[in-house]
Amino acid sequence: MTELAYTGETMGEEGNHLLDLTESHLDIGMRGVPVGTCRTSFVTPGEGVHYCGYPIKELAAMQPEDVVYLLHNKELPTPEQSVAFRKDLERRAVMPGDLGPVFSALPRDGHPMDWLAIGIQTLGMWDCKNDWKEDALNLVARMPRMMGLLFRYRENRVEGIPDDDTSLSMVERFTNTLDLDVDQEKLNRVLAVYLVLHMDHGGGNLSTFVGKAVASGHATLYSAMAGSMNALSGPLHGRANQSCLEFVLRVGTSDPVKVEKFVREELEAGRPVFGFGHAVLRTEDPRAAAQFALGEQLCPDDENFKIIRTLREVAPRVLAENPKISNPNANVDIASGALLHHVGLKNPSYYTTFFGWARVAGIGAQIYDERVVMRNGKGVPIYRPKYIAREQVLRHVE
């Protein structure tokens, strides 16, 4: 905890935080500027994201429900607590309305993330308890069915949608609704790992920050989460996972010589090498390693998996030639698309919705903490950072 580092002289006197700020801190998207504390997760350069103190590699094989419990309760459940929590989610899972007519009315060529935000906002209009914890957990419990319906209505597969069996796991409720003619066991395994790996990522990532900011004005949990999903939909944020599989499909070969040529050409053209690099991590993201390990078990001969295996060998060496790239290693997005594609989820435009589904757990827990726990239960006040009129800035500089 960096408490001491950001009190006293660093924060300035009388709470005037501006005393220690210079122009170099302004107009940089608040990058690295401490604004709060986070009880659910943090990211380190060596081990990546930790949920409630556990490095992600220790959680990757756990069931998503248990990790949702961890983020909300700050400790892993005992076997009895795990069973009780599943029962609790089952009780909450009953949908408060029929999303069919809502999804039917949406433009088919609208992005799935726009559908997701509208779905969440609609759930909130039907059944908002105005209780941060209740609403956060109700939404977690209703996401699987909503995700399944989102796919079915977008794809015009609206006949014969199986009933929602709320006794199933989160992942199974989605795949049961989706009802694809694929290997269900593999599909469920990939999705379970995917959800766990993507549930939270510290307090300051854009979508989490936006959700907490909206909630700080006491908008509903659903409005805050819809805001988070809209933030996540951007190509510089959550949509990078869609771009990453599109990139892998463009590589089109697992031949190391050809892959190296492709990577060099991308860099020369000023395009990013997707799936590599990270703002905080300085080694390979353990979330990438976990997905590579899963892929070696499930689909070692899949063409896209072979491409990413080669990219993992070749790209860091090429990227490391550029000293300004702080981390040339694989990030979480390198493997997720290849795995989802292999298990039958072939359309990359949906991939960010899985990210959003997972993040609902972490963002909901963080919103709860900020609204109900922080400042001895008073909660964080409405967000109100200061923007300085440009003339004033120039006067300061003079």
Which of 274, 292, 350, 354 binds ligand CMX (CB under 6 A)? It is 274
* DSSP structure string for 105-171: TS-TTS-HHHHHHHHHHHHHHH---S-HHHHHHHHHHHHHHHHHHHHHHHTT--TTPPP--TTS-HH
Q: Quick check: 272 binds ligand CMX (CB under 6 A)?
A: yes
> Residue 227 Cβ, how far from ligand CMX at the closest point, in Å?
20
**Can you tell me the distance from the alpha carbon of 273 to that of 270, in angstroms, rounded to the nearest whole number?**
9
99 and 119 in contact (C-beta within 8 Å)?
Answer: yes
Q: Quick check: 277 binds ligand CMX (CB under 6 A)?
A: yes
> Residue 207 Cβ, how far from ligand CMX at the closest point, in Å?
12
- Range in contact with ligand CMX (rule: CB under 6 A) among 76-84, 251-259, 272-280, 345-353: 272-280
Q: Quick check: 197 binds ligand CMX (CB under 6 A)?
A: no
The contacts found for 31-38 with CB under 8 angstroms, 24 or more apart, are: 34/2, 34/6, 35/204, 35/385, 36/203, 36/370, 36/374, 36/380, 37/1, 37/203, 37/374, 38/202, 38/203, 38/366, 38/369
Q: Identify residues 35-74 at the interface with ligand CMX (CB under 6 A).
A: none
Which of 135, 200, 333, 369 binds ligand CMX (CB under 6 A)? It is 333
Which residue's CB atom is positioned nearest to ligand CMX?
A: 277
Binding pattern for the stretch 223-252 against ligand CMX, x by CB under 6 A and - elsewhere: -----------------x---x--------
To the query of whether residue 72 is one of the catalytic residues in this protein, the response is no
- CB atoms closer than 10 angstroms to residue 373: 15
Which of 35, 95, 293, 325 binds ligand CMX (CB under 6 A)? It is 325
Q: Which is nearer to ligand CMX, 355 or 368 (CB)?
A: 355
| Letter string b/e over residues 32-61, b meaning 16 or more CB atoms within 10 A of that residue's CB | eeeeebbbbbbbeeeebbbbbebebbebbe
Count of positions (residues) in the chain = 398
Q: Which of 72, 198, 278, 341 is catalytic?
A: 278
Instruction: Write the CB contacts of 51 (distance below 8 Å, at least 6 apart in sequence).
Output: 40, 41, 59, 67, 70, 71, 199, 200, 362
Q: Quick check: 16 binds ligand CMX (CB under 6 A)?
A: no
- Range in contact with ligand CMX (rule: CB under 6 A) among 179-187, 321-329, 357-365, 388-396: 321-329
Q: Quick check: 139 binds ligand CMX (CB under 6 A)?
A: no
To the query of whether residue 237 is one of the catalytic residues in this protein, the response is yes
To the query of whether residue 301 is one of the catalytic residues in this protein, the response is no
Q: Which is nearer to ligand CMX, 191 or 332 (CB)?
A: 332
The two three-digit tokens of residue 290, written as one number: 């976990």
Q: Which is nearer to ligand CMX, 148 or 328 (CB)?
A: 328
**Can you tell me the distance from the alpha carbon of 52 to that of 332, in angstroms, rounded to the nearest whole number?**
19
**Can you tell me the distance from the alpha carbon of 195 to that of 172, in angstroms, rounded to the nearest whole number?**
12
> Residue 239 Cβ, how far from ligand CMX at the closest point, in Å?
10
Q: Quick check: 320 binds ligand CMX (CB under 6 A)?
A: no
> Residue 237 Cβ, how far from ligand CMX at the closest point, in Å?
8
Which of 119, 275, 286, 356 binds ligand CMX (CB under 6 A)? It is 275
Q: Which of 333, 341, 342, 369 is catalytic?
A: 333
Q: Quick check: 32 binds ligand CMX (CB under 6 A)?
A: no
The two three-digit tokens of residue 227, written as one number: 């805001």
> Residue 238 Cβ, how far from ligand CMX at the closest point, in Å?
9
Taking the mean position of all CA atoms in its chain, how far away is CA 16? 34
Q: Which of 25, 66, 237, 302 is catalytic?
A: 237
Considering only CA atoms, give the Rg of the chain.
Answer: 22
**Can you tell me the distance from the alpha carbon of 275 to that of 334, in angstroms, rounded to the nearest whole number?**
4
> Residue 356 Cβ, how far from ligand CMX at the closest point, in Å?
15
DSSP state of 372: I
Q: Quick check: 28 binds ligand CMX (CB under 6 A)?
A: no
Of the candidates 346, 209, 331, the residue with the CA atom closest to the CA atom of residue 281? 331
Residue 313, amino acid = E
Q: Which is nearer to ligand CMX, 102 or 288 (CB)?
A: 288
Interface residues toward ligand CMX, by CB under 6 A: 240, 244, 272-279, 319, 324-327, 331-333
Q: Please give the positions annotated as active site.
A: 237, 278, 333
